[in-house]
């Protein structure tokens, strides 16, 4: 072996070590990539977490919106129901005029007449009131049923009534209100009386 060949051997070894270092660098790079890929799978990046939080916030906002819509619909339904009930309430009617029966009429509202048609029965006179003029003859036409009479004390009128039609006359000599009644037994106490009004 020559001296020149001995001097070339270190160069050969140095060349053999270079490829070995290159392959080691590649293996280390692949290992780093695998570790990096595993870390990405196991731990989501901050961007994914923000998306999750935003989705949760959106769901909360949707729930609040639904609650507000339900409250508005409920309030509207209550208002419409109250308006419907108000429209269904009956309209108050004005009071109808009271019909005054003949026996309940005041002396001023009774027509002045000198002929009085009357019914006498147990135990009432109909009508119970009538109006005549002072100084003019009054003709009484009384249809009687039962045993009764017709009396006005102040004017001296006393007439027994037979069964059926009775006609008699008298002339009032003073103005005012006078009670007429039946003087048989307790007929007067049982309601058989009325009022005659005499006007000027």
pLDDT of residue 6: 44
Cis check: omega of the bond before 123, within 30 degrees of 0:
yes
Asked whether the predicted pLDDT for residue 71 surpasses 70, the reply is: yes
- The number of C-alpha atoms within 13 Å of 89 and in the hemisphere containing its C-beta is 6
Lowest mean pLDDT among 20-29, 85-94, 110-119, 160-169: 20-29
Greater pLDDT, 67 or 160: 160
pLDDT of residue 24: 53
Length of the chain: 200
DSSP-assigned states of every residue in 3-48? HHHHHHHHHHHHHHHHHHHHHHHHHHHHHHHHHHHHHHHHS--HHH
Distance, CA of 193 to CA of 200 (rounded, Å): 24
Strand-pairing partners, residue 174, are none
All structural domains of the chain with their residue ranges:
3-88, 102-199
DSSP-assigned states of every residue in 149-173? EEEETTTTEEEEE-SEEEEEEE---
Greater pLDDT, 48 or 75: 75
Asked whether the predicted pLDDT for residue 163 surpasses 80, the reply is: yes
Start-to-end Cα distance in the chain: 184
pLDDT of residue 115: 95
Residue with tokens 């004390």: 153
In this structure, whether the domain defined by 102-199 belongs to CATH 2.60.40.420 is answered with yes
pLDDT of residue 118: 97
Q: Write the CB contacts of 154 (distance below 8 Å, at least 6 apart in sequence).
A: 174, 176, 178
80-138 per-position pLDDT tens digit: 777 766 655 555 565 554 444 444 444 444 577 899 999 999 999 999 999 999 999 99
The CA R_g of the chain, rounded to the nearest whole Å, is 63
pTM of the model: 0.46
pLDDT of residue 99: 44
- For the record, the structure tokens of 98 come out as 């009271």
Mean pLDDT computed over 16-45: 51
- The number of C-alpha atoms within 13 Å of 99 and in the hemisphere containing its C-beta is 1
Nearest to residue 120, comparing CAs of 87, 86, 163? 163
């Amino acid at each position: 072996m020559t001296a020149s060949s001995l001097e070339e051997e270190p160069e050969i070894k140095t060349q053999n070590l270079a490829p070995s270092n290159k392959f080691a660098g590649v293996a280390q790079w692949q290992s780093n990539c695998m570790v990096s890929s595993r870390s990405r799978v196991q731990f989501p990046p901050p961007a994914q977490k923000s998306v999750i939080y935003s989705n949760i916030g959106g769901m909360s906002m949707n729930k609040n919106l639904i609650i507000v819509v339900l409250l508005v619909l409920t309030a509207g339904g209550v208002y419409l129901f109250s308006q419907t009930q108000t429209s269904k309430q009956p309209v108050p009617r004005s009071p109808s005029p009271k019909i005054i029966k003949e026996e309940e009429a005041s002396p001023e509202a009774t027509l002045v007449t000198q002929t009085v048609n009357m019914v006498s029965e147990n135990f009432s006179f109909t009508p119970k009131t009538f109006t005549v003029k002072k100084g003019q003859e009054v003709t009484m036409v009384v249809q009687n049923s039962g045993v009764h009479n017709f009396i006005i004390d102040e004017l001296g009128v006393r007439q027994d009534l037979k069964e059926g039609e009775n006609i008699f006359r008298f002339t009032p000599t003073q103005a005012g209100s006078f009670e007429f009644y039946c003087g048989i037994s307790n007929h007067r106490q049982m309601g058989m009386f009325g009022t005659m009004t005499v006007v000027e």
